[in-house]
Amino acid sequence: MMAGLTGWHLLVLVLIILLLFGAAKLPALAKSMGQSARVFKGEMKAMKDDDTSAPQNTADSTVTSTATETTAAPTRDGGSSNPPTT
């Protein structure tokens, strides 16, 4: 990935960053980047947790709806709960 970058390339990059942002702003920049990385990591973990719990919830609701349909009491008109349409 960074096979083309040597030590000199990295040194030039650091110097350019120092010139652009200044030495006083670098700690704040590093702190901001660290916080952003933590938030991103937390959101990714939450998405994975949601993905793993979603199939289980779907299966539970299917079992519940099937059980409700099979235990429904028959009505007086021969078991149909819907009124006849004419």
pLDDT digits (tens, 9 = 90+) for 23-68: 888 888 889 999 999 999 999 999 998 888 876 555 555 555 554 4
Task: State residue 21's pLDDT score.
Answer: 82
Task: State residue 1's pLDDT score.
Answer: 47
User: Which tokens sit at 66?
Assistant: 């099937």
Contact 49, 41 (CB under 8 A): no
Task: State residue 83's pLDDT score.
Answer: 60
- Of 13-17, 44-48, 68-72, the one with minimum mean pLDDT is 68-72
DSSP tag of 46: H
Give the three-state DSSP class for 19.
helix
DSSP tag of 3: T
The answer to pTM > 0.75 is no
